[in-house]
Amino acid sequence: MLTGRAGAEPVPPEQLHVQFGADAASQVAVSWAAKAAVARPRLRFSGPDGYAAGEVQATERGYTDALTGETAYTYHARIDSLEPDTCYRYEVRHDGAPPAPGTFRTGPRGRTGRFRFTSFGDQAVPAPVGLGLGPSSPNAGYVVDAVESLEPLFHLANGDLCYANMSDEPVATWASYFRNISRSARYRPWMPALGNHENEAGNGPQGYLSYLTRFDLPANGSPQFAGNWYAFTVGSALIVSLNNDDVCLQDGGFSTYRRDHVPGYDARGIDPYISGYSHGRQRTWLERVLASARQSADIDWIIVCMHQVAMSSAHFNGADIGIRRTWLPLFDAYGVDLVLAGHEHHFERTFPVRGCLPGSELLTPAPRGSDRAEMDSRYGTVHLTIGGGGHPVTAPGRSRHGPDEGIVITAVGQGDPQHQRQSVVAAEPAPWLAYGGEPGGFGFAAFDVVPAEPGGTTSITVTYYGAAAGSASYRPRDSFVLRKPHRCAEQHGRELSRVAGQ
């Protein structure tokens, strides 16, 4: 039981945001926060005709930040019997405070409807919080309006949401983040992936306690890692959110500020280096989920949302060989179509990749195709880095060695909880690079999914929208199409050829 229940002063609901459950056609969770604990938190919702569909009680979840000792209060209400492709209205309610309204739309069922989603990573907050140690920029606010103007069914936030682990006021940083995105996220799910800057040393075993408390995400079968990774189905797509800190070598969660200021950092044995923390649990789960999706006649697209990248031409962090060792063989084996990441603060995209260049010790992915405008992901996985969400330090802004050169983190040096491990990097050829023409700048990508086209194909049209620093004008800068036969047509084709061969 959390302390600090509200007294006579009204404590309004704030920071409203929506999430899909494992089945986007029928399951939604609405989450919010309050400055103090409140009485009888609940959600009232109604269907398209305005009839009162129901009221559900919300669950209170809180955490006390290890750095400041502040307690944050969040509330989560789940609904799991909704109609597909339907708009609902809702009101978040507490005793003694005015209700806060929002809407959401459920996902289509199967191949019945087109839908759009958007994605970016590395957003930060629109204005400095506390001492301003964490990143902020006006674009971290502008990008929310740009996304909202496209009215996507949902949005994927590819990690490094608000960089609370760098801030002297992490709870206020999270509040700033959700207040900023709520003008979109209260109307459509913003589905996150964990980034290295969600690791707030001292807040839970992987430092993720703030993130995990504030989101209500689909279950993954491992209660001790609930929320760290998950998947959901929307239409004919499976969306998988991974936590790459588990497989990366890079020491990306280290925070000098938290090392120097979290009380008991040494005595409690706090260690922000968490590589390998799930001991293979996440990989086992991923393989099971991918295998199941590939056996399903209802799933055409497998889309992975994650933070750190498998390939990078930016001389910034670099790609992490841990991802190549652990994830890419599974992406190859089960035909993952699309990977959306961040971490590198710019935009680039690859050709479909599968396997490695012959003899490559760096496991350099091999391109399978050379058409930049239209790609067929049956031959390989297309990776997008969309890390220009708002962090003011954009990549590649340091030393860029050449237009076709990739950078890979191959190892890390000595380190301990007090001293960050330095990355050991190597250069590689980058024949996988399809488009890397966005040096610096801010942006996001939109994905228009057409589940069934004449002729039996399905497609995703990808458009990258970019904006200059300080500009709210996001314009299309790059576009391409993923197209392939949908599963029904593919199976029909196989049967025809079998009959023809008899």
DSSP 98-125: --EEEEEEPPPBTTS--EEEEEE----B
Bridge partners (DSSP) of residue 388 are: none
DSSP 162-182: S-GGG-S-HHHHHHHHHHHHH
Measured from the CB atom, is 105 or 343 closer to Fe ion? 343
Rg (CA), the chain: 22
Measured from the CB atom, is 300 or 344 closer to Fe ion? 344
CB of 360 to Fe ion, least distance (A): 25
Return all residues near 149 (Cβ < 8 A) that are at least 6 apart.
Answer: none
Measured from the CB atom, is 47 or 439 closer to Fe ion? 439
With contacts defined by CB under 5 A, name the span among 93-101, 122-130, 209-217, 475-483 that binds Fe ion: 122-130
Site string for Fe ion, 462-501 (x = CB under 5 A): ----------------------------------------
CB of 307 to Fe ion, least distance (A): 6
- 362 φ, ψ (degrees, to nearest 5): -85, 0
3-state percent breakdown (helix, strand, coil) of the chain, nearest 5: 20, 35, 50
Please give the Cα distance from 495 to 260 (Å, whole number).
65
With contacts defined by CB under 5 A, name the span among 50-58, 121-129, 360-368, 483-491 that binds Fe ion: 121-129
Measured from the CB atom, is 111 or 307 closer to Fe ion? 307
Could you give the residue ranges of the DSSP H alpha helices within 192-304?
209-214, 256-261, 281-295
Please give the Cα distance from 451 to 484 (Å, whole number).
10
Measured from the CB atom, is 233 or 244 closer to Fe ion? 244
Of these, 122, 169, 337, 348, which contacts Fe ion (CB under 5 A)? 122
Answer yes or no whether residue 388 interacts with Fe ion by CB under 5 A.
no
Please give the Cα distance from 384 to 351 (Å, whole number).
10
Of these, 196, 244, 350, 458, which contacts Fe ion (CB under 5 A)? 196
Hey, CA dihedral for 319, 141, 127, 216, is it positive or negative?
A: negative
Measured from the CB atom, is 228 or 458 closer to Fe ion? 228
Measured from the CB atom, is 134 or 367 closer to Fe ion? 134
CB of 345 to Fe ion, least distance (A): 6
Site for Fe ion in 301-360 (CB under 5 A): 343
Measured from the CB atom, is 77 or 157 closer to Fe ion? 157
CB of 396 to Fe ion, least distance (A): 14
Site string for Fe ion, 154-193 (x = CB under 5 A): ------x---------------------------------
Measured from the CB atom, is 200 or 300 closer to Fe ion? 200
Site string for Fe ion, 203-232 (x = CB under 5 A): ------------------------------
Measured from the CB atom, is 122 or 300 closer to Fe ion? 122
In this structure, are residues 457 and 482 in contact, taking their beta carbons and an 8 Å threshold?
no
CB of 391 to Fe ion, least distance (A): 5
**Which of 383, 387, 374, 280 has the alpha carbon at shortest distance from 337?**
383
In this structure, are residues 266 and 197 in contact, taking their beta carbons and an 8 Å threshold?
no
By three-state DSSP, how is residue 410 classified?
Answer: strand
The site for Fe ion, by CB under 5 A, has a size of: 5
Q: Are strands 71-79 and 59-64 parallel, antiparallel or unpaired?
A: antiparallel
CB of 308 to Fe ion, least distance (A): 7
Whether omega for the bond prior to residue 223 falls within 30 degrees of 0, making it cis, is no
With contacts defined by CB under 5 A, name the span among 73-81, 118-126, 182-190, 453-461 that binds Fe ion: 118-126
Answer yes or no whether residue 200 interacts with Fe ion by CB under 5 A.
no
- 133 φ, ψ (degrees, to nearest 5): -75, -30
CB of 86 to Fe ion, least distance (A): 36
Return all residues near 47 (Cβ < 8 A) that are at least 6 apart.
Answer: 53, 83, 86, 88
Answer yes or no whether residue 195 interacts with Fe ion by CB under 5 A.
yes
Hey, CA dihedral for 453, 457, 460, 463, is it positive or negative?
A: negative
Residues in the chain: 502
Q: Are strands 405-412 and 319-320 parallel, antiparallel or unpaired?
A: parallel
CB of 242 to Fe ion, least distance (A): 14
With contacts defined by CB under 5 A, name the span among 115-123, 140-148, 419-427, 447-455 that binds Fe ion: 115-123
Measured from the CB atom, is 134 or 451 closer to Fe ion? 134
Please give the Cα distance from 189 to 152 (Å, whole number).
9
CB of 386 to Fe ion, least distance (A): 11
Q: In what order do the strands lie in the sheet with 115-120?
A: 190-192, 154-157, 115-120, 442-450, 457-467, 475-485, 374-375
CB of 425 to Fe ion, least distance (A): 16
CB of 343 to Fe ion, least distance (A): 4
Site string for Fe ion, 26-65 (x = CB under 5 A): ----------------------------------------
Measured from the CB atom, is 203 or 377 closer to Fe ion? 203
CB of 484 to Fe ion, least distance (A): 31
Measured from the CB atom, is 122 or 320 closer to Fe ion? 122
CB of 270 to Fe ion, least distance (A): 20
Residues that bind Fe ion (CB under 5 A): 122, 160, 195-196, 343
